[in-house]
A = this chain, B = another copy of it.
Amino acid sequence: MGTLSYSRAGVDIAGADVVKQRIARLAASTFTPGVLREIGHFGGLFAAPGDRNSYVLVSSIDSVGTKVLIAALLGHHRSIGIDLVNHCVDDILACGARPLFFLDYFAAASLAPAVLEELVEGMAEACAAAGCALIGGETAQLPGIYLPGVYDLAGCIVGAVHRDRIVDGSTIQAGDVLIGLPSSGLHTNGYSLARAALGLDGDPEEARRRLAEVPAWTDRSLGELLLEPHRSYLPVIEPLLDSRVIRGLAHITGGGLAGNVARIIPPGLQALIEAGSWPVPQIFRHIQEQGQIDAHEMYRVFNMGIGYVVVVRPEDAPRVQQLAEGWIIGSVVPAGEAEARAVVHGVS
């Protein structure tokens, strides 16, 4: 069968990037004076209304992706609601923002009330934990758009950050240290490739049988491991926000470690991440082996055990590493303008 890559599993990252650039230009044509940054950061930044208001609204919209197909196979949906909220919380947190409110969008060919209720239970649980109010949502029944028995769940979060406390990586300097925080699993990225690698994208009965298997290296079923909710980094990052110790934050989602860390590194610098400086969880090795996936492709698609990256000055690194229970996974070095802003070294 040869090796699997992400575009062969149905998702073309390079193609998506070209379109995203065109979209960014069209979007920029709508910008009003309230817009504080161009598109491309982890959240959209907009001045909060009101005279002399020193707060900035930070927003993000996202979905859980094909992780919902695992949930649909197993009939467990609650954790998907948690995934969605935590993914969004982590996105705006990367700008230094705390959540204010959340709205969800659920769509399917037909309404399955029990599924929707489980999802909202999960969203409400994660929202409450983040101090985020679930203030609206839309339930759409769209026959002819969705395949039967599955659904999509998207959500939009709005948070706020004081104008002087925006985290955007602009103060990052050569010598700064990258601290990687452990992910709880795949989070919400790479599921199309993982499903293909693990043989979960064919006959549902066969897929359920495989999901029930308990791999030799764990006492949990593959299904449990794959449905493990996206971790919220708010509890561990929030105490650091006010101490101004943070120079940059990256949420490791689609595009992997290098792709996401690159978004916050200023020109003339490069984040050098050392593979092997943290333990890659077995689930990633398992997916790689089963799908005979190239190691570099693994690092482009999956978080490989690092869900969030905090950039700090070297003198702050030991304290932050300890507080956040992370690993020192690399550092920032000088680089030419044309060089990649982030690379993962020693992948094998």
Contact = CB atoms under 8 A, between A and B. Distances in A.
B26 A124 contact: yes
Contacts of A141: 10-12, 16, 192
A103 to B, nearest CB: 4
A192 B111 CA distance: 14
Q: Within the oligomer, what is the number of copies of this chain?
A: 2
A282 B310 CA distance: 60
Interface stretch (A44-52, A299-307, A340-348): A44-52
A224 interface: no
Interface in A98-131: 100-101, 103-105, 107, 109-111, 113, 116-117, 120-121, 123-124, 127-128, 131
Given A19-B117, A29-B128, A136-B43, A192 B143 contact: yes
Given A50-B48, A135-B44, A144 B201 contact: yes
Contacts of A201: 144
A195 B133 CA distance: 37
A141 B15 CA distance: 11
A17 to B, nearest CB: 10
A237 interface: no
A150 B144 contact: yes
Interface of A is mostly: mixed
A66 B45 CA distance: 31
A30 B156 contact: no
Contacts of A133: 27, 30-32, 34-35, 46
A192 B138 CA distance: 17
Contacts of A131: 32
Given A30-B128, A61-B105, A68-B145, A139 B35 contact: no
A59 B100 CA distance: 12
A83 to B, nearest CB: 14
Contact of A113 (B18, B59, B120): B18
A45 B147 CA distance: 34
Given A27-B124, A30-B132, A134-B27, A10 B158 contact: no
Interface of A: 9-12, 15-16, 18-20, 22-23, 26-27, 29-32, 34-35, 39, 43-46, 48-50, 53-55, 57, 59-63, 65-66, 68-69, 100-101, 103-105, 107, 109-111, 113, 116-117, 120-121, 123-124, 127-128, 131-147, 150-152, 154-156, 158, 160, 192, 195, 201
Given A26-B124, A61-B136, A140-B152, 20 more contacts: A12-B141, A15-B111, A15-B113, A16-B111, A18-B113, A26-B134, A35-B101, A35-B135, A45-B135, A46-B133, A50-B50, A57-B100, A61-B104, A103-B156, A105-B154, A105-B156, A140-B154, A144-B195, A145-B146, A152-B152
Closest 6 CB pairs of A and B: A44-B135, A10-B143, A156-B156, A44-B136, A49-B160, A61-B103
